[in-house]
Structure 1
Amino acid sequence: MTSLYQHGTLAMLMGKQMQGTITAAELLKHGDTGIGTLTGLNGEVIILEGQVYQAQSDGQVNHITDLETLLPFASVHFYKPTQALPFDAVDFTTLSDKLQAAQLRNIFSSVNFHADFSRMHVRIAPKQVPPFPSLLEVATNQPEFEMANVTGTVMGYYAPEIFNGPTAAGWHLHFLSDDKTFAGHILDFSASHVTGTLQIFDEFVQHLPVQDAGFRAMALDLEGLHSGITASEGGKK
């Protein structure tokens, strides 16, 4: 059995619950690879080979070595690839098409690949302070960065449409350059010389911060939840 472990929900961030509720140390017990964000939506986290990196909204990339650092939302798994990726070149809009034979529509999966990127376009959430705004409010004013001719790693997840709310339906991908100086939540990319893997999960473990008073008291606007998540993720699925 291969498991994808997720702490918190994307709906929580839409509901203004951005307080950290799990430590990096606890999270790493459930996986050595993944993505997430820090307390106050402070940047974009990518976890590779058990190491935690944070892209800040000023463009700086940090190696997080304090494992007591808190996260409100993250997804992790242990890297045990299902198959090699069947393509040498890809961009954000063609990723699903190139994996069509894998029939991912109704399952959770992840990609992890290294490539040369002629273009990498990312955004990075800026740190928020209490009282927290909603994720959608933050998404309307996020710094974006582009880099041409960069080599690095893309890591992220595909989630079925029915799980839009607990997480983001479609692809949610983060990037980290080889030199650890450029990273973020991917809005678009164009890649060649792709080498990497697809991993399929037959179990989705949703962990909730039930001891957190803010989460217990949270009220959600369910009517606008899905459209808000799509907008906050960059509008591409």
Structure 2
Amino acid sequence: MSKIYQHSTLAALMAKQMQGTTTIGDLLTHGDTGIGTLAGVDGEVIILDGDVYQADEFGKVNHITDMQTTLPFATVHFASDVAQNIDVAATDFAGLADLQDVYHFTNNFAALRLHGQFEHVLVRAAPKSEVPYPSLLEVSKKQPTFTADQVSGTIVGYFSPSLYQGTVAAGWHLHFLSDDHTFGGHLLEVQTQQVTGTLESFSDFQLHLPIEDQSFRDHNADVDDLDAGIKAAEGGH
């Protein structure tokens, strides 16, 4: 099984650590597929086949080609031929819950990539924040949402076990990108008859911490309210 690589933690974002601490160029050495956000929690990043896209707060999708562009948080992996081909016949997220039982990954990380024609898609995109950064929970309260109907595109993202809540957002964290690269974001709702793609389970999870960044080293995470805060900030999926 291949490896999943994550830069920084969701708890750090909750604790206002939104400064860019890795580059697109470095991130792509660890994976060609994944999700994340840009410095300042500027929109939603979607990485497919080594190409990096940002769905911004204005509803626009930008192709990011500057390898020095920075991110505070991201998760990636290299797409592998050991991934299982799957069909998902579902009108909403209910079908994804079934995948955990069928493929037995409740206690490990998994990557999902699905492609198809979607009747309806609802996404959100984080608005860019400036120093002094607010908490991720504050940002989540003013995130714009966007919808598209009859759109073809790709869902990509990860399942994380509840044991790692805080390091990640436990459960599914999925982003969407349309085939024409004009619509995307953090996936909230989807309606479709059937989509196809791949599911891959991981035996190895590599967490990279930006210890060269003083603000990261010095921050304090409020672990008592972390679980409730993450659930509120993530908005479900």
Common fold by TM > 0.5: yes
**CA–CA distance in 2 between the matches of 1:159 and 1:119?**
25
**CA–CA distance in 2 between the matches of 1:107 and 1:90?**
25
Where does residue 181 of structure 1 map in the other structure? 182
**CA–CA distance in 1 between the matches of 2:108 and 2:144?**
32
Native 8 Å contact 1:174 1:186 kept in 2: yes
The reply to whether residue 110 of structure 1 matches residue 93 of structure 2 is no
Native 8 Å contact 2:43 2:56 kept in 1: yes
Where does residue 207 of structure 2 map in the other structure? 206
Instruction: Provide closer, same or farther for how the CA distance between residues 110 and 90 of structure 1 changes in structure 2, counting only shifts above 3 A.
Output: farther
**CA–CA distance in 1 between the matches of 2:185 and 2:226?**
23
- After superposition, the C-alpha distances for 1:21-80 in whole angstroms (9 at most, x for unaligned) are 000000000000000000000000000000000000000000000010000000000001
**CA–CA distance in 1 between the matches of 2:195 and 2:63?**
25
Native 8 Å contact 1:115 1:192 kept in 2: no
The reply to whether residue 48 of structure 1 matches residue 41 of structure 2 is no
Native 8 Å contact 2:36 2:74 kept in 1: yes
Where does residue 22 of structure 2 map in the other structure? 22
Native 8 Å contact 1:4 1:204 kept in 2: yes
SS at match of 2:236: coil
Where does residue 36 of structure 2 map in the other structure? 36
Alignment of 1:64-213 (within 5 A): 64-80=64-80, 81-213=82-214
Instruction: Provide closer, same or farther for how the CA distance between residues 193 and 97 of structure 1 changes in structure 2, counting only shifts above 3 A.
Output: closer
**CA–CA distance in 2 between the matches of 1:99 and 1:152?**
23
| Matched residue type, 1:169 | A
Shift of 1:116: 1.0
Native 8 Å contact 1:23 1:70 kept in 2: yes
| Matched residue type, 2:122 | H
Where does residue 216 of structure 1 map in the other structure? 217
Computed over aligned residues only, the root mean square deviation of the Cα atoms, in angstroms, reads 1.1
Native 8 Å contact 1:84 1:197 kept in 2: yes
SS at match of 2:45: strand
Native 8 Å contact 1:39 1:70 kept in 2: yes
Instruction: Provide closer, same or farther for how the CA distance between residues 191 and 99 of structure 1 changes in structure 2, counting only shifts above 3 A.
Output: farther
If the length of structure 1 is used for normalisation, what is the TM-score? 0.97
Native 8 Å contact 2:4 2:75 kept in 1: yes
Instruction: Provide closer, same or farther for how the CA distance between residues 55 and 230 of structure 1 changes in structure 2, counting only shifts above 3 A.
Output: same
Shift of 1:15: 0.4
Shift of 1:99: 4.4
Shift of 1:235: 2.9
Q: What percentage of residue pairs aligned between the two structures are identical?
A: 53
- After superposition, the C-alpha distances for 1:198-222 in whole angstroms (9 at most, x for unaligned) are 0111000000000001001101111
Native 8 Å contact 1:24 1:70 kept in 2: yes
SS at match of 2:166: coil
Shift of 1:104: 1.6
SS at match of 1:29: coil
**CA–CA distance in 2 between the matches of 1:107 and 1:191?**
27
Shift of 1:92: 1.6
Shift of 1:90: 4.6
| Matched residue type, 1:66 | D
